[in-house]
Amino acid sequence: MKKLLLAIAASACATVASAEDIKIGVVLGFTGPIESLTPAMGASAELAMKEVTESGKLLDGSKVESVRGDSTCVDSAAATAAAERLITSDKVSAIMGADCSGVTGAILQNVARPNGVVMVSPSATSPALSTAEDDDLFFRTAPSDARQGQVIADILNDKGIKSVAMTYTNNDYGKGLADSIQSNFEASGGEITISAAHEDGKGDYSAEVGALAQAGGEVLIVAGYLDQGGKGVIQASLDTGAFDTFVLPDGMIGDSLPVAIGDDLNGSFGTVPGTDSQGAEIFDKLAKDAGITPDAFSGESYDAAALIMLAMQAAGSTSSADFKAKVMEVANAPGEEILPGELGKALEILAGGGEIDYVGATAVELVGSGESAGNYREILVEDGKNTTAKFR
Amino acid sequence: MELLNPLALLGNFLIIPGLTYGCQLALGALGVTLIYGILRFSNFAHGETMALGTMATLLVTLWLQSAGISLGPLPTALLALPVGIAICIFFTLATDRLVYRFYRRQKSTPVIFLIASLGVMFLYNGLIRFIVGPGDRIFTDGERFIFTAREFKEMTGLREGMAFKTTQGITIVVTIVIVALLFWFLTRTRTGKSMRAYSDNEDLALLSGISPDKVVMVAWILTAVLATIAGTLYGLDKSFKPFTYLQILLPIFAAAIVGGLGSPLGAIAGGFVIAFSEVALTFAYKRVLGYLLPEGQMPEGLVQLLSTDYKFAVSFAILVIVLLVRPTGIFRGQTI
């Protein structure tokens, strides 16, 4: 009798182990400087999880559940605590996040590495993360800003702009991007008249703009955040007539900025990771059908979550130590190309021992230590809207 | 003509922003100084009182806008201001009744009051975020500019533009009116005189039959009026974001102390001293010097004394220097 009970218990355990409820942490700055982007980002990641759950093909029909945590984008202590809670108390198998570079680095070093949990960030773009110690646990579907600096320098050169002023938000993201733009632009013969930091969350940026205006320049590069100092600097520049054209890197691209500033922003241009691949269109439609308005980094978020689940399937395990080596494999060639909405098919191929090349919403191609190679959309603000000028 | 270009340049980036900021600080410092003079404690909740009054004004403004009422070229918020003030007065009086009166009866030391005001600050803080949230709100409407930088250039033919925003104009005009009214009230009316008497010497004032409750009440009402106006002007000129009202507390206190705590005239002077030092010390003078120096002598560097990051450090530094050298402030106020 005892043996029978044990056998039943053992078989019950075995079923639980094969079709378990998988939890994935979604750590994004739901409050803070990019809070206008994160709702769509989180929802996009959850869209991928829903798709996988409904397909019923992940690890013999496991359900995937999202557990959200607030990274705040700026407060490393709060972000670390949120991630710690997800791992120790909610027992998530992997983290989709974080968003801003500073908090992402903090979570990676203080939580992900000690606990050995895989992190896939959709939007941390600081060049410093390329070389950070990560025990092969860290990946990002967003490219490093070292690439964005090159793209921005190219755009400036194409437009024949020779001299620019630059301001950046005083953190890892802003500083890294500003350095990258400066080195690339100066290498191609351009002049940066001033590169000054601004602090987020202030009421008044007229003093900062005063200094920028004195240095002069044809346009102003604002490597900041659209809900924060970046917007304040643009508003103050327009008010004082200091600059009328702005270069907007990815942190400044979002539908809320042209709405907040109005027609004066027309003619400004910028960059945001993105591709003209079919995947982007399909994702747009998927997202809209699900009631999500895709904004910057929504596609990357979908892809980040999808990569985690595909790697789990490829490894046949939800343990980070097992599937961390599979992330690059499922993301890159060779194999069958996988577009958004085809996650079920991908899981089936993997279950059958086949290979896939995940393309996803943003033409994912992981290079180096596991970061996106970097396709950018050149944005032009026209008639109060962000429009796509071309792809780079 | 040679001098006009650098003047316009300074006007655009230094003088007009400095004047506006000075007015906003002066109105805030007046409130702090009044409470210090009458109730004898540093009211740390003042920044949040400003935010509270502004929030009330903001909500009424939104309601007016949705009802289609506007003031034409002027911001609708001016119409909503009296209601905002009334709501703020209600809150300050209620707080006094529920919190500060208890400590007055206990004859508590100023430090106890100060800590109590810190508690009130956090309470207001939470209340405001609970009602309108922590986000940034722009509630300015009407004409944005009295004249823009481009119009100024066309008008004068100068190479440098100078912009003058409607909100900056309103800030300066309203401050002049309010300060004039306040001084008339303090020096000419019976209540105002009794307040000054109470502030100068509480015992003598009580002996001559001045009601302390009434003086305290009027002080809170005046503070609420000043805080709401200062907060609304600041919010109109920048944008309404609860967090910035916490940050502005430091320059306001610096202004009140530099001018001399308890001295209304000092608060105004202090406001402008702090505002102009913050702006002038962090300004880059490269192009101004470019105009003034002989041809081709434009300096290579920015000629900036301090990076703009150190703006708040300037008010701190001035505060420390004043406390060391002349603790009573410019206008011989009380020492802390």
Q: Which of residues 135-164 of B touch A (CB under 8 A)?
A: 135-136, 138, 148-150, 161, 163
State whether B243 and A214 contact (CB < 8 Å): no
Mean pLDDT of A34-53: 92
Model confidence over A311-365: pLDDT tens digits?
999 999 999 999 999 999 899 888 888 999 999 999 999 998 889 999 999 888 8
* Minimal CA separation from A215 to chain B, in Å: 6
User: Residue B273, CB half-sphere, CA atoms under 13 Å: how many?
Assistant: 25
In chain A, how many domains are there?
2
Work out the burial of residue A7: count CB atoms within 10 Å of its CB; fewer than 13 is exposed, 13-18 middle, 19 or more buried: exposed
My answer on whether A116 and A15 are in the same domain is yes
- Reply yes or no on whether the pLDDT at A14 is more than 50: no
A281 CB neighbour count, 10 Å cutoff: 13
> Taking CB atoms and an 8 Å limit, are A241 and B161 in contact across chains?
yes
pLDDT at A12: 47
Is the predicted pLDDT of residue A377 greater than 90, yes or no?
no
Which pLDDT score, from 0 to 100, does residue B331 have?
82
Point out the residue among A194, A207, A208 whose CB comes nearest to the CB of B302.
A194
pLDDT at B333: 67
Are A292 and A256 in a shared domain?
A: no
A353: tokens are 């021992």
Query: B284 and A203: CB-CB below 8 Å?
Result: no
- If asked whether residues A347 and A366 sit together in one domain, one would say yes
Question: pLDDT value at position A215?
Answer: 84
Tell me what pLDDT residue B24 has.
93
| Same domain as A289, residue A366 | yes
A4 has a pLDDT exceeding 70: no
Distance from CA of B287 to the nearest CA of A (A): 6
Task: Read off the pLDDT of residues A233-256 as tens digits, 9 standing for 90 and up.
Answer: 998 898 888 898 999 998 898 888
Candidates B163, B285, B302; nearest CB to A239: B163
Write out pLDDT tens, residues A215-225.
Answer: 888 999 999 98
- Looking at the structure, do residues A184 and A91 belong to the same domain, yes or no? no
Nearest CA in chain B to A237: B13
Residue B335 has what pLDDT?
56
In this structure, the answer to whether residues A316 and A335 fall within a common structural domain is yes
A245 and A323 housed in the same domain: no
Domain span at residue A167?
146-273+375-391
Classify burial at B265, counting beta carbons within 10 Å of its beta carbon; exposed 0-12, middle 13-18, buried 19 or more: middle
Identify the sign of the CA torsion A190, A191, A197, A202: negative
Residue A248: the pLDDT is 92
What percent of chain A shows pLDDT beyond 90? 47
Query: Span A190-200, mean pLDDT?
Result: 88
Q: What is the pLDDT of residue B159?
A: 82
pLDDT at B97: 95
Q: Give the model's pLDDT for residue A144.
A: 85
Q: What is the mean pLDDT of residues A248-277?
A: 86
Are residue A122 and residue A217 in the same domain, yes or no? no
pLDDT over threshold 60, residue A170: yes
Q: What is the pLDDT of residue A15?
A: 40
Contact B287 A211 (CB under 8 A): no
Q: CA of A193, closest CA in chain B: separation in Å?
A: 9
Question: Contacts of residue A35 in chain B, CB cutoff 8 Å?
Answer: 135
Q: Does B308 touch chain A (CB under 8 A)?
A: yes
A259 and A124 assigned to the same domain: no
Q: Which pLDDT tens digit goes with each residue over A108-152?
A: 999 999 999 999 999 998 888 888 899 899 999 988 888 888 899
**What domains sit in chain B, N to C, each tagged with a CATH number?**
4-325 (1.10.3470)
The alpha-carbon gap from A340 to the nearest alpha carbon of chain B, in Å, equals 34
Higher local confidence (pLDDT), A372 or B179: B179
Judge if A140 and A154 occupy the same domain: no
Task: Tell me: do A73 and A210 sit in the same domain.
Answer: no
Would you state the pLDDT for residue A3? 60
- Overall average pLDDT of the A262-283 stretch: 86
Query: Is B134 within 8 Å of A241 when comparing Cβ atoms?
Result: no
If pLDDT is split at 50, 70 and 90, which confidence band does A29 have? Answer: very high
Considering chain A, what percentage of its residues have pLDDT values greater than 70? 95
Taking the C-alpha atoms of residue A350 and residue A342, their distance in angstroms, rounded to an integer, is 13
- For B248, name the nearest residue in chain A, comparing CA atoms only: A203
CB spacing of B244 vs A214 below 8 angstroms: no
What is the residue-level pLDDT of chain B in tens, covering all 336 positions?
Answer: 578 888 888 888 889 989 999 999 999 999 999 999 999 899 999 999 999 999 999 999 999 999 888 888 888 999 999 999 999 999 999 999 999 999 999 999 999 999 999 999 999 999 999 999 887 888 888 888 888 888 888 888 888 888 899 999 999 999 999 999 999 999 999 999 999 999 888 889 999 999 999 999 999 999 999 999 999 999 998 888 888 898 889 899 999 999 988 888 999 999 999 999 988 888 888 888 888 887 777 777 778 788 877 888 888 898 899 889 888 888 876 654
Residues A18 and A150 in one domain: no
The pLDDT of residue A17 is above 60: no
| CA closest to A229 among chain B residues | B136
Domain of residue A184, CATH code: 3.40.50.2300
**B12–chain A Cβ distance below 8 A for any pair:** yes
